Amino acid sequence: MYDFSRCKLCATNGARPKYTLKKATVYACPACGFHYIDHLDDMPSGPQGSSAQALDQKARSYIESRLPGNEKQLRKNLQLVKRHLSLAGASCLDIGAGAGMFPHLLAEEGASVHGIEPQGVFREFTQQKFGIELQGETIDAVHWQEGFKGFFDLVTLWDVLEHVNFPAETLRDAYSVIKPGGWLVLDTPRRDALFYRISELSYRLSGGRNSLFLESLYSPMPFRHKQIFTLRQLVQLVESIGFSVIQLHNKPLQPQNKMVLVCQKQPGNGA
């Protein structure tokens, strides 16, 4: 059992509950200001990942119904990636591949594609829809860390960092499988966005009775949002790991309040 008074980002002890939501408590770190909830997913170990849910007709229809919106956003992300590297023949890893749309788009560009998706229902969908085999083992697994060290030209994390148990570790593990001069491109919601700040204000003014969007920004359900970075926290984190931030997009007024980071592992930096 993880002790949530220990900051998930900087490991300082003394993090305190800041917002008590209906289903989760948001902790805040006094040292680095990180916000995260008091919940971790039981992570499946081994190549099977989580296969609790079956890909029945209902699940398939639901995933299909969300695919067009998914594709629209991911095609934009693809254009962003293509500004920085040529995908034909590139070795790419999409972490948190979901229904497989981004691996599919990468494959269309002629890339050599790998993908990680811990939920079996999405892996099965991806296999059937796109003929792409995703792996259930997460990026910390020996399969990746020993088998693909310094291997990839590109690693992508679309809407993943807010979902994983330990985002700093996920980024370090991603760093180690990227080759020198290779790329990490990601997007994630940002906490220093208007929605979040208004919600915090509302929480304070109502004595905790009305937390507006905080309830929907965090969830203790499996694979849902566990932490939300500020832009500064995320930039500092990737730089401390060894990446250079090459391009940065703020979308503070978009519904998801996302930030997009294009990072490069320093050329000639062996490990």
* Residue numbers at the binding site for Zn ion (CB under 5 A): 7, 9-10, 12, 29, 31-32, 34
Q: Minimum distance from CB of 8 to Zn ion (Å)?
A: 8
Q: CA Rg, the chain, in Å?
A: 18
Q: Minimum distance from CB of 229 to Zn ion (Å)?
A: 12
Q: Minimum distance from CB of 59 to Zn ion (Å)?
A: 38
Cross-strand bridge partners of residue 115? 94
Between 240 and 244, name the residue whose CB sits nearer to Zn ion. 240
Q: Minimum distance from CB of 95 to Zn ion (Å)?
A: 23
Q: Minimum distance from CB of 57 to Zn ion (Å)?
A: 45
* Phi, then psi, of 200 in degrees rounded to 5: -65, -40
CA distance linking residue 255 with residue 236, whole number of Å: 25
Between 133 and 239, name the residue whose CB sits nearer to Zn ion. 239
Q: Minimum distance from CB of 11 to Zn ion (Å)?
A: 7
* Phi, then psi, of 181 in degrees rounded to 5: 85, -5
* Residue 105 tokens, joined: 């788009």
Between 31 and 54, name the residue whose CB sits nearer to Zn ion. 31
Of 218, 230, 224, nearest to 259 by C-alpha is 230
CB atoms within 10 A of CB 137: 17
- Round to the nearest angstrom and report the end-to-end CA distance of the chain: 32
Of 172, 174, 149, 155, nearest to 237 by C-alpha is 172
Between 24 and 237, name the residue whose CB sits nearer to Zn ion. 237
The string of DSSP letters for 230-253 reads -HHHHHHHHHHHTEEEEEEEE-TT
Between 134 and 168, name the residue whose CB sits nearer to Zn ion. 168
Between 35 and 39, name the residue whose CB sits nearer to Zn ion. 35
Decide: helix, strand or coil at residue 271: coil
